[in-house]
């Protein structure tokens, strides 16, 4: 499906747009031009549907859909979710990709070009869904079942795109295949519309697909998204019931029952992505696919590798924060310090050169840390032990750590690394929802609807993956022999289970912290903090702590009733001029 999606569909969408723009200049379409009329049939509609899937990564032809750099519209939301949420610093140096500086500090304005890039890329996904639905309605060679299957997928995808827009910008115009003038006001809550799309998908998507279609959305993925939609609206009983269904009977599109694989790192390894039982809904990435670009190879992440002279060459962005690293400190029972984790800081090599001697921290540490963050003196996958400052562009500015989850392995780089650009691409899939995320959202819904035993069970299920499988903890690496130890761990790992959730308040504190640990650097953190209503408290505390370590957050301040959502891009507001008035209304505080 991946090859099809980019070799034909983006061209198809571009040609249709071209035809629509030039109607007033041409009485007759040139020979060979693909018009909307040509695709108003079963084959054309299915090509358009694949194009709607293709927009999930926000990329095309070396740029973001609609223009801008690929990383500005990255589907991982590494900037908007993880950097803003305190998982990581921008990294690199102060002068590189400067618009991220003010985003990281919550001092941005509506003129920041990154927001416009993200808005355009996600609305391109909406547009492709709407075009699919419009052409399906005009096609005369499709059966009722074929229409239902296409509509269910298109509405699922539209629900996803609008969910993305809603959580980022809040006040978003609802545009459908029936909308004639896209200058639509953003004065209505679109949660009911998102719910309706996901409900239709739940009712009409199959449980399984086969063959090349296993990356498509299925019934369980739609249930997970609908439950997530309920959760964001604080409809806890509805969310709990649906998450309970997904947890107990959900399946991947390939028919594999959802579960947590023993290896945490399997979620971020291109070699183990096929039939991953944790993958609820994902974007399939491919490397070296014949396009001579990294358009299909995670181009949104191309900046996020250790800097030269590392084997990756570029670019030193997305450096995990000390605050995040400290969160993985655990007590003698293997449980986190929920309130005062920064008082139990994990040792770093900040302000040391790679030639200086350094001994990594010897205290108890959650083993997930070293599958999430690259630390000095510990194995960086199979690339050798991380050398510290040598692999960082400006350690004094961005900190002492490197990202790890979306970095490919040396042993299979020929298959899963793509070198068709000035920065690396990879075939590591992007997990939009994985089963651990579902378990923790389910626990949150359970805690808020009177089901504390289930909340405890599901949090412990997430923690138990590593607690029950110490053989999957990171082991020491010998740089001389280029082999991993079979008996020695890379650090003093320990992880325990909670014995009890004595109250809803304690349960929520544990769940919120568990999401930070399990889903770190996956683009969730800021959106979680915002919907929980604690973003101001948590982030201002983060700024105060982290700017004592690096200077990049000097001047950072989170303003409540403003920074919970990003501004509507000013360019988009200006484009909605109608009868002398702008149709889009700017968000509060901007």
**How many CB atoms neighbour CB 554 within 10 A?**
9
Centroid of chain to Cα 437: 12
* Alpha-carbon separation of residue 63 from 58, 120, 215, 417, 421 (angstroms): 9, 12, 23, 19, 12
Whether 425 and 417 have beta carbons less than 8 Å apart is answered as yes
Residues contacting residue 283 through CB under 8 Å, at least 6 positions apart: 56, 57, 75, 429, 430, 432
Q: Looking at residue 580, which CATH number applies to its domain?
A: 1.25.40.390
Whether 116 and 68 have beta carbons less than 8 Å apart is answered as yes
pLDDT at 62: 85
The Cα 566–Cα 111 span in angstroms is: 11
Tokens describing residue 446: 């359970």
Number of domains in the chain: 1
Whether 463 and 514 have beta carbons less than 8 Å apart is answered as yes
Report the candidate in 484, 458, 518 with the shortest Cα–Cα distance to residue 264: 518
**376-431 per-position pLDDT tens digit:** 999 999 999 999 999 999 999 999 999 999 999 999 999 999 999 999 999 999 99
Q: Is residue 47 in a domain?
A: yes
**How many CB atoms neighbour CB 143 within 10 A?**
9
pLDDT at 34: 61
Q: Is residue 48 in a domain?
A: yes
Lowest mean pLDDT among 18-22, 39-43, 467-471, 549-553: 18-22
* Alpha-carbon separation of residue 198 from 76, 151, 152, 155, 203 (angstroms): 21, 11, 8, 7, 9
Q: Is residue 363 in a domain?
A: no
Q: Which domain holds residue 93?
A: 36-191+566-589
Is 70 exceeded by the pLDDT of residue 287?
Answer: yes
pLDDT at 13: 43
* pLDDT confidence band for 61 (50 / 70 / 90): confident
Residues contacting residue 261 through CB under 8 Å, at least 6 positions apart: 267, 272, 276, 277, 278, 465
Q: Is residue 94 in a domain?
A: yes
Q: Is residue 40 in a domain?
A: yes
Tell me what the mean pLDDT of segment 24-33 comes to.
40
The DSSP call for residue 440 is H
pLDDT at 421: 95
**460-503 per-position pLDDT tens digit:** 999 999 999 999 999 999 999 999 999 999 999 999 999 999 99
Residues contacting residue 252 through CB under 8 Å, at least 6 positions apart: 214, 218, 220, 258, 275, 276, 277, 279, 280
Q: Is residue 573 in a domain?
A: yes
* pLDDT confidence band for 8 (50 / 70 / 90): very low
The Cα 70–Cα 74 span in angstroms is: 6
Tokens describing residue 56: 């999930």
3-state secondary structure of 229: helix
pLDDT at 537: 99
Q: Is residue 178 in a domain?
A: yes
Is 60 exceeded by the pLDDT of residue 1?
Answer: no
The Cα 149–Cα 161 span in angstroms is: 19
Q: Is residue 232 in a domain?
A: no
Rounded to 5 degrees, what are φ and ψ at 283?
-105, 120
Triad 534, 120, 218: Cα angle to 5°: 75
The DSSP call for residue 7 is I
The DSSP call for residue 587 is P
* 14 conformational bin, left if phi > 0, alpha if psi -120 to 50, beta if neither: alpha
| Mean pLDDT (the chain, rounded) | 94
Is 80 exceeded by the pLDDT of residue 174?
Answer: yes
Percent of the chain with pLDDT over 70: 94
């Amino acid at each position: 499906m991946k090859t099809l999606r980019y070799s034909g569909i983006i061209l198809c969408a571009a040609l249709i747009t071209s035809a629509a723009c030039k109607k007033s200049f041409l009485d007759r379409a040139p020979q060979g031009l693909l018009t909307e009329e040509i695709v108003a049939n079963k084959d054309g509609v299915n090509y358009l549907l694949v194009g709607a899937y293709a927009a999930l990564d926000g990329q095309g032809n070396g740029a973001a859909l609609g223009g801008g750099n690929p990383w500005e519209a990255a589907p991982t939301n590494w900037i908007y979710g993880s950097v803003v949420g305190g998982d990581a610093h921008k990294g690199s140096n102060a002068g590189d990709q400067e618009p991220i500086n003010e985003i990281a500090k919550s001092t941005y304005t509506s003129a920041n070009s990154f927001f416009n890039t993200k808005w355009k890329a996600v609305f391109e996904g909406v547009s492709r869904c709407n075009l699919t639905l419009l052409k399906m309605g005009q096609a005369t060679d499709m059966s009722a079942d074929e229409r239902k299957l296409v509509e269910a997928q298109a509405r699922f995808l539209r629900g996803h795109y609008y969910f993305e827009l809603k959580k980022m910008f809040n006040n978003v115009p609802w545009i459908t295949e029936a909308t004639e003038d896209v200058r639509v006001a953003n004065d209505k809550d679109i949660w009911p519309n998102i719910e309706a799309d996901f409900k239709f998908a739940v009712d009409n998507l199959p449980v399984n697909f086969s063959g090349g279609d296993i990356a498509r959305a299925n019934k369980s993925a739609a249930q997970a998204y609908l439950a997530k939609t309920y959760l964001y609206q604080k409809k806890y009983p509805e969310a709990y019931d649906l998450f309970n269904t997904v947890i107990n009977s959900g399946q991947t599109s390939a028919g594999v029952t959802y579960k947590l694989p023993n290896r945490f790192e399997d979620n971020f390894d291109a070699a183990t992505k096929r039939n991953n039982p944790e993958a609820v809904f994902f974007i399939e990435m491919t490397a070296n696919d014949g396009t001579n670009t990294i358009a299909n190879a995670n181009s949104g992440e191309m900046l996020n590798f250790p800097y030269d002279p590392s084997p990756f060459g570029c670019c030193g962005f997305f450096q995990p924060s000390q605050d995040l690293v400290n969160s993985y400190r655990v007590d003698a029972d293997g449980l986190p310090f929920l309130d005062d984790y920064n008082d139990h800081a994990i040792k770093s090599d900040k302000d040391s050169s790679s030639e200086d001697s350094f001994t990594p921290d010897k205290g108890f540490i959650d083993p997930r840390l070293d599958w999430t963050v690259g630390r000095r003196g510990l194995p960086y996958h199979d690339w050798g032990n991380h050398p510290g400052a040598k692999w960082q562009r400006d350690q004094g500015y961005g900190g002492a750590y490197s990202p790890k989850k979306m970095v490919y392995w040396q042993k299979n780089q020929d298959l899963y690394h793509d070198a068709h650009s000035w920065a690396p691409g990879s075939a590591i899939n992007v997990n939009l929802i994985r089963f651990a995320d579902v378990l923790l959202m389910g626990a949150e819904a359970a805690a808020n609807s009177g089901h504390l035993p289930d909340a405890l069970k599901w949090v412990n299920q997430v923690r138990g993956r590593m607690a029950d499988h110490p053989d999957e903890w990171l082991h020491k690496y010998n740089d001389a022999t280029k082999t991993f130890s079979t008996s020695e761990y890379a650090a003093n790992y320990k992880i325990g289970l909670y014995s009890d959730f004595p109250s809803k308040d304690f349960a929520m504190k544990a769940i919120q912290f568990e999401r930070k640990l399990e889903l770190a650097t996956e683009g969730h953190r800021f959106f979680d903090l915002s919907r929980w209503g604690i973003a101001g408290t948590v982030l201002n505390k983060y700024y105060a702590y982290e700017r004592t370590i690096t200077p990049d957050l000097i001047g950072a301040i989170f303003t409540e009733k403003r920074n919970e959502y990003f501004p509507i891009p000013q360019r988009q507001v200006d484009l909605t001029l109608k009868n002398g008035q702008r149709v889009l209304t700017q968000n509060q505080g901007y």
